[in-house]
């Protein structure tokens, strides 16, 4: 049985492959600074996209997207603002997406939620 970390990494790899097939360029994986972590940072159609990936085996605990609450969103936003400043990307458009990876009956379902939340 895979542990929680390995399951998360498996989900992230699936999400990354999914995004690449859609023409996204992956800029960063597991971008981590003192304010938090962002699973994937990508570029697509002149946008910088900060992506939270959630993986679950089944829906016993609800949809994966439901675990990206206000506190998690704030951490992602703070970390994204740090990234934007550090990379001098103030003139870029950006958005926040969530990718759900569900493993149900040995089949993977991927749901890409664009503009999942705003930077207030």
Going residue by residue through the chain (120 aa), what tens digit of pLDDT does each one get? 456 666 667 778 999 999 999 999 999 999 999 999 999 999 999 999 999 999 887 777 777 788 899 999 999 999 999 999 999 998 999 999 999 998 888 788 899 999 999 886
Which residues is 44 bridged to in the sheet? 47
pTM (global) more than 0.85 = yes
CA dist., res. 85 & res. 106, Å (int): 42
Q: Which domains does the chain have, with CATH numbers?
A: 4-117 (3.40.1350.10)
How many Cβ atoms are within 10 Å of 105's Cβ, its own excluded?
6
Six-digit token string for 83: 């990234």
Dist CA 75 CA 58 (whole Å):
26
**In the numeric block, which tokens belong to residue 36?**
């938090």
Count the alpha carbons within 13 Å of 9 in the hemisphere toward its beta carbon: 5
């Amino acid at each position: 049985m895979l542990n929680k970390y390995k399951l998360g990494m498996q989900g992230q790899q699936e999400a990354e492959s999914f995004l690449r097939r859609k023409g996204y360029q992956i800029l960063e994986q597991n971008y981590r600074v003192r304010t938090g972590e962002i699973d994937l940072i990508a570029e697509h159609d002149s946008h910088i996209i900060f992506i939270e990936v959630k993986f679950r085996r089944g829906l016993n605990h609800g949809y994966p997207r439901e675990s990206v609450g206000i506190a998690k969103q704030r951490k992602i936003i703070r970390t994204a603002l740090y990234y934007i400043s550090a990379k001098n990307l103030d003139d870029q458009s950006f958005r926040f997406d969530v990718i759900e990876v569900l493993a149900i009956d040995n089949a993977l379902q991927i749901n890409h939620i664009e503009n999942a939340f705003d930077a207030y």
